[in-house]
Amino acid sequence: MSKNIKEDLIFFNELVQELLEEEVDNPVSSIYSAENLTKRFDLSLNFEPAIENDFREKLRDIVLNTPKSSSNLFFNQLFGGRQSKAVLGDLLSVLLNNSMATYKICGPQVGVEKEVLNKISQIIGYDKHSYAGTFPTGGSMSNFMSLVMARDRIDNFSKNHGISKRLIAYTSESSHYSVAKNASFSGIGRNNVRYIPSDEKGRIKVDSLVLQLEEDIKNGLTPFYLNATAGTTVLGAFDAINELSVVCKKHNIWLHVDGAFGGTVIFSNKYKHLVEGVEYSDSFCFNAHKTLGAPLSTSVLLVREKQYLYDSFDNEATYLYQTDNKENNLGKTSFECGRRNNALKFWCLWKAIGTRGIQKIIDHEFYLADLARKYIHNDSRYTLYSFEDSLSVCFNYKDYDPINLCTELYKNSKLMVGYGLFNDVVFIRLVIVNSNNTEEDILNIFKIIEEFTSSNFNLKKLSS
């Protein structure tokens, strides 16, 4: 540890205090084009060290002009806001700097991670089985690991000799784009992914899935994996897990529930029905950094039968695994070796506010989403494209082009919001995942849009 760490931490606290004030005073940062970054900011790395005061000023300039993802005007991505206890846990993880590969090098942090995984397994009904889990680097990695386990289960020779069967994976046309990438990485092949049509609410059509399965089986192919989604990226839709589990059981298909966006409804008594049947899945994941305000990244993957996690990811390394059993050497069940401690921040949050507090976070976000939909529904100038039980509120205002409107709001530092596409319709996609927001914050979004459009006459309109 540097002898200057205490001085650096003092500066860190000063800079954080300034950032927190800046989030309130200027919730949307000024915009600088990518082409002008090196002109606006001193990003150069030189042979000689920087003078300390100059270093601090340059760093301060960069930090305070970075997009503020925790402000009350950030609705652009599937994450936003922050929970202080989770931030505390992440900062301590940085200082401790443990790898989560073995008990020898992370000690009590193994217990921290296992306690989180144990509690989640109880909540989703995996505790009746020989479950296991891990903290991957994100939802894409969680999905990848589930695909690899499904591959190895159906084709025992695949991990040593390569795939010996024509394996077919299934997912909704509204699912996350990582499914295609993962099919490529795992050797399945992008062309061996079947994209099943979605219904009017963005949920996978079970009948269409069954028809596709029957056709593939008839053609001598081997269905092996279904990626169901709990909270699609655009509409926030929840696939019917119960119905899908029946189909998967009949055809010996691995059922993975990608709950990266919406999976945290497991903590809510009011909304957990959206993932009814999750106990029948083979694997399940969610991202606490998306809806619970934990820092990026806080991703959790649970597997109902731990043997599959070990079969696919356990590998001998005498230079690494030198003490303790495999249950406490967490590198045995993870993709990475030097895996950072992403469990402590979630444990700190959960320990501090309890399951009841996590439930309040989820319920409040759904309440705010309902408030936004109600406002849109009651104002004829707006058109609503999304539905109840979703944290993604999709709409258009008058006949303004949503792509242009979102871009101009961003360029003018008014509002950070993006657009989405479903059934060839483009709309504004308002993602409500910051539980620190209030009713006033949500209603202010519409005020900003209405005032901005009324004073900017060059905005593009949709063609009739």
For residues 407 and 400, what is the distance between their CA atoms, to the nearest angstrom?
A: 12
DSSP run (H or E) holding 287: strand 283-287
pLDDT at position 4, please? 87
Place 2 in a pLDDT band, splitting at 50, 70 and 90: low
Residue 341, both tokens: 């401690």
The yes or no reply on domain 89-349 and CATH 3.40.630.30 is no
**Which among 350, 359, 292, 313 is positioned nearest to 142, based on CA atoms?**
313
Q: Which tens digits make up the pLDDT trace of 308-335?
A: 999 999 999 999 999 989 999 999 999 9
For residues 203 and 198, what is the distance between their CA atoms, to the nearest angstrom?
A: 5
pTM of the model: 0.97
Q: Which tens digits make up the pLDDT trace of 349-381?
A: 999 999 999 999 999 999 999 999 999 999 999
Burial 73-89 (b: 16+ CB within 10 A, else e): bbbbebbbbbbebbbeb
pLDDT at position 463, please? 82
Mean of pLDDT values over 261-284: 98
Return the half-sphere exposure (C-beta side, CA atoms, 13 A cut-off) of residue 217.
12
Q: What are phi and psi of 347, to 5 degrees?
A: -60, -45
pLDDT at position 348, please? 98
For residues 114 and 180, what is the distance between their CA atoms, to the nearest angstrom?
A: 31
pLDDT of 399 > 50? The answer is yes
| Strand spans (E) along 337-448 | 382-384, 392-397, 416-422, 425-431
- How far, CA to CA in Å, does 336 sit from each of 114, 144, 330, 341? 17, 13, 10, 12
The end-to-end CA distance of the chain, in Å, is 64
Residue 197 CA to chain centroid, in angstroms? 23
CATH of the domain spanning 354-455, picked from 3.30.930.10, 3.90.1150.170, 3.30.2090.10, 3.40.50.12780: 3.90.1150.170
Q: Which tens digits make up the pLDDT trace of 434-456?
A: 999 999 999 999 999 999 999 99
